[in-house]
Structure 1
Amino acid sequence: MSGEPDALAIVNQLRDLAADPLNRRAIVQDQGCLPGLILFLDQPNPQVVYSALLAVRYLAECRSNREKMRGELGMMQSLENVMKKTTTPGETKLLASEIYEILKSSSNAVTDQAEQASYRRKTQFFLGATNKRAKTVVLHIDGLDDAARRSLCEEALLKIKGVISFTFQMTVKRCIVRIRSDLKAEALGTAIASTKIMKAQQIVKGEDGDEVMISFEEDAPVEAEQNTDLPDYLPEEESPSKELDKAVSRVGTKQDASGWLNTAANFLTRSFYW
């Protein structure tokens, strides 16, 4: 890499490093990277903010990171600011709200078994969210009332070939899904309907900027190619290193990560701490 890296290049690299579960603890423990990501959340460039949020979202997938992240100076306040800004794009607000809820709930010592199972399955599934050929679909799911039903949604979505990642906002019964550009949103509606107890509607922005719910045609279900060989999704603590060559996404070796963390930390120190 030639020349001095700019803010977007650095935050994109941190985002990609954070996508690898093996790097998440090191990033949070680094003295410069986490404070730097928080500062990126206040940047005027919306691409920098969104990329920083994705990096923070990946880091929050590691449970052992959440307490430190929640207590980091400015983290919760910056997330609130992103959510409250009138100029913040809707997708960015949803992502910030999701992270805020995860970190806020980390103060609760007790998590039921259904919640634990759900997070385990999502730990490695939330990879590739920055795929350039991907698109985002926001679903409102009627009947998404508890952790058990969320697990049913996850089972249905995991079976669809072309689904890259998904996150839930239980308080508003929403699911934010990243899918391949050639996969129809209607296929997601069909998958949710297959649970027999839930129904999905797509949330889009109208011409006036307000959110509009679009129902999927129940008499014309859209079937999608299904994943027939799903792996067992293990929590990070149990993921065997010998399976790294079979991971959903790889963004570099530990040595690459360490080198980039040093570069990022040095850049952040020069840029923000004087």
Structure 2
Amino acid sequence: MSGEPSALAVVNQLRDLAADPMNRRAIVEDQGCLPGLILFMDHPNPQVVYSALLAVRYLAECRANREKMKGELGMMLSLQNVMQKGTTPGETKLLASEIYEILQNASKSEAEEAEAAASCRRKAQFFLGGTNKRAKTVVLQIDGLDDSARRSLCEEALLKIKGVISFTFQMAVKRCVVRIRSDLKAEALGTAINSTKVMKAHQVVKKEDGAEVMLPLQEGSDVVVEENTELPDYLPEDESPSQEPHKAMSRLGSMQDGAGWLNTAANFLSRSFYW
């Protein structure tokens, strides 16, 4: 069994593949991956459940996927179970609720179908919709976000904040898109990132004319950063394949390499439906 990947490694890789818009249609069309993600939602490891939800949320960004995802056996029921389970962390419930609402409101209108292809090719933008009024999105410009080591520091800092639901990085432009609870102040994100001593964050906002403005995130004694004690690790570095850049599947244009990993994941899932 030495060569057998763990459930967490598989679901993390599927999440990374789903982060690339070019991969989302293929993952949903695959006969094993989507059913596998549904089963992962009922896994006893909360890290696996959260990572599976992140992957499903990425897949739901593609309009053309939503009807198939909604109709997939067990999808909506599994999301409801995550939301209703008493032991589910709050951020995990919120993420499941957001996915459920997106799929529940999936429309078959011709206008949306016409937009589907363009939607799947857009550059990845994580959780930018306003589908859940209890959550909001903050875009951060991070000075010093230069490499994978700095990214890891930033991840660790954000994971400590109670109220952070999810985040994704745009390394080419040194940005991080963070989905947070509506009652969490953006200044808390700045405080956490600035605490690394090697990075400094500014908030990116758009004016009415579309121009971007960088706002400093002030630190002060009134900015309280409540540490997160419930949420499982977002990216456990000792198990995440993303530690090896040459094997990473989340970059644009990665589907040729990703197809092979999809087959590996599907084979693993077909042998592992007995958790």
TM-score, normalised on structure 2? 0.57
Amino acid at match of 2:264: T
CA-to-aligned-CA distance 1:85-104 (integer Å, 9 cap, x gap):
11111111111111111111
**SS of match in other structure, 2:66:** helix
CA-to-aligned-CA distance 1:31-61 (integer Å, 9 cap, x gap):
0000000000000100000110111011111
Q: 1:109 to 1:166 in 2, by over 3 A?
A: farther
Query: Which residue pairs with 2:36 in the alignment?
Result: 36
**Partners in 2 of 1:120 and 1:267 — Cα distance?**
26
**Pair 1:27 & 2:39 matched:** no
Q: 1:60 to 1:167 in 2, by over 3 A?
A: farther
Is the CA contact 1:11–1:48 (under 8 Å) kept in the aligned structure 2?
Answer: yes
Bigger shift: residues 178-187 or 258-267 = 178-187
Q: 1:120 to 1:28 in 2, by over 3 A?
A: closer
Output the aligned Cα RMSD: 4.6
**SS of match in other structure, 1:31:** coil
Is the CA contact 2:15–2:52 (under 8 Å) kept in the aligned structure 1?
Answer: yes
Query: Which residue pairs with 1:267 in the alignment?
Result: 268
**Partners in 1 of 2:264 and 2:188 — Cα distance?**
30
Query: Which residue pairs with 1:164 in the alignment?
Result: 176
Query: Which residue pairs with 1:68 in the alignment?
Result: 68
The CA deviation at 1:13 is 0.6
Q: 1:178 to 1:26 in 2, by over 3 A?
A: farther
Q: 1:126 to 1:43 in 2, by over 3 A?
A: same
Query: Which residue pairs with 2:193 in the alignment?
Result: 182
**SS of match in other structure, 2:272:** helix
The CA deviation at 1:163 is 4.7
Is the CA contact 1:164–1:178 (under 8 Å) kept in the aligned structure 2?
Answer: no
Is the CA contact 1:21–1:124 (under 8 Å) kept in the aligned structure 2?
Answer: yes
The CA deviation at 1:186 is 9.7
Is the CA contact 1:79–1:96 (under 8 Å) kept in the aligned structure 2?
Answer: yes
Query: Which residue pairs with 1:91 in the alignment?
Result: 91
**Partners in 2 of 1:258 and 1:57 — Cα distance?**
20
How many residues are paired up?
199
Q: 1:192 to 1:92 in 2, by over 3 A?
A: same
- Note the residue ranges of structure 1 that are not aligned, 5 or more in a row: 140-157, 196-201, 210-248
Q: 1:18 to 1:206 in 2, by over 3 A?
A: closer
Amino acid at match of 1:66: R
**Partners in 1 of 2:122 and 2:256 — Cα distance?**
26
**Partners in 1 of 2:48 and 2:99 — Cα distance?**
16
TM-score, normalised on structure 1? 0.57
Percent identical pairs in the alignment equals: 59
Amino acid at match of 2:57: R
**SS of match in other structure, 1:103:** helix
CA-to-aligned-CA distance 1:104-141 (integer Å, 9 cap, x gap):
111363889xxx9xx899852229xxx643216648xx
The 5 Å alignment of 1:1-274 reads 3-107=3-107, 109=109, 124-126=124-126, 132=152, 133-134=154-155, 135=158, 138=163, 163-167=175-179, 182-183=193-194, 250=251, 253-272=254-273
Is the CA contact 1:163–1:179 (under 8 Å) kept in the aligned structure 2?
Answer: no
Is the CA contact 1:83–1:96 (under 8 Å) kept in the aligned structure 2?
Answer: yes
